[in-house]
Amino acid sequence: MSIFCTYCTLKCNDTFCCFGGIRHQLLHLLRIMASLTRIIPWDIWYLLMTTLKGKTVVIGITGGIAAYKTCELVRELAKAGADVHVIVTEAAQNFVTPLTLQTLSNNPVHTDMFALIHPEAKSWKYEAGEKNTKHDPRITIHISLADRADVLAIAPASANVIAKVAHGICDDLLTTTICATKARVVFAPSMNVNMWENPITQGNIKHLRDLKYQFIDPEEGELACGYKGVGRMADISKIVEFIKKTCSKS
């Protein structure tokens, strides 16, 4: 006897299925998933289903006009469930304010390597069983950030900070944290096309790649300086996906 399924309103000859409901619902769910995987590649499907809940992402912002885009990056990472901590260099503060980033990340923003963190700061309390409990965050901020990070992403990454890291220079909170961390470090460069193509810059990038640092290459287009070419920071959605994929491996 042909009747209508109570779940999808389609005709179905399986009386038990229609009246039981659960079996038919599972069948439809499997059909939907099968159709989606034909449209969406498995790696993208995985990213769509992945959140950053329980992951700590440290974002470093250097001086460049693309710094304003990083506000959206911080917002998207926080929405995905990440515990986001932001380091803003002195130069970057000419483009974005710590208050904006603190509002978007819901965490204190770090600008000074020698500033003390208030002992009652919610985001800096270590619970029993949490990793790196041996470090007191009130004393060594760069070590605490370095140890807590699952991923440390520098966006935008200027030619200056790339050169510093490539040569082991640690003269501010960001470069010191990069040096101290064992987390995966990701650079999202942003600079003038001539600076990007400069053999010194490319040599620094090659050196860092050889040391297993990761890069999200800049895109080609019209740059803020008026030039056209490669140098524009990668799209925020691309950076978010890259961080998600990197976190899944950590």
- The one catalytic residue among 8, 179, 225, 247: 225
18 labelled catalytic: no
Would you state the structure tokens that stand for residue 228, as one six-digit string? 């056209």
Residues that are catalytic:
225
